[in-house]
Amino acid sequence: MPDAALKPAHFYILLALSRDDRHGLAIARDVQALSDGRIRLWPATLYGSLEDLRGRRWIQEVSDHPADESERKRYYRLTRAGRQALEAEAEHMSRVARLARSRVGPRTGEAG
């Protein structure tokens, strides 16, 4: 069973890779867009996170690059285990969101 409660940066990196292979800068841009600007990955954080995710075997570096891209760019792909971790975290977040929505209404006697 994949770990729950991923670091936010890890969750968004996996989400960024869920549709297509991407290089580091494209991942960082996608993470910023997907998180509505709440998460900005500076190079040290980005590449440290990518190494951590590779170590968990949730992503892999791929050698096939698009023809119009530089050979120097490193591309990453989500693995099956990474997709399972992403799905598990998304389900966990959904349960927490449902719980939060059920509790955010005003309490009886609460001042408005």
Query: How far is 101 from 73, CA to CA, in rounded Å?
Result: 42
pLDDT of residue 67: 62
Share of the chain above pLDDT 90, in %: 74
Q: How does DSSP classify residue 59? A: E
- Nearest partner of 76 among 38, 112, 41, judged by Cα: 41
Task: Convert the pLDDT of each residue in 61-111 to its tens digit.
Answer: 998 766 666 667 899 999 999 999 999 999 999 999 999 999 887 777 777
Confirm if 20 and 77 have CB atoms less than 8 A apart.
no
Confirm if 102 and 94 have CB atoms less than 8 A apart.
no
CB atoms within 10 A of CB 40: 13
Question: In which residue are the tokens 């997709």 written?
Answer: 83
Query: How far is 19 from 97, CA to CA, in rounded Å?
Result: 24
- Which pTM does this prediction carry? 0.85
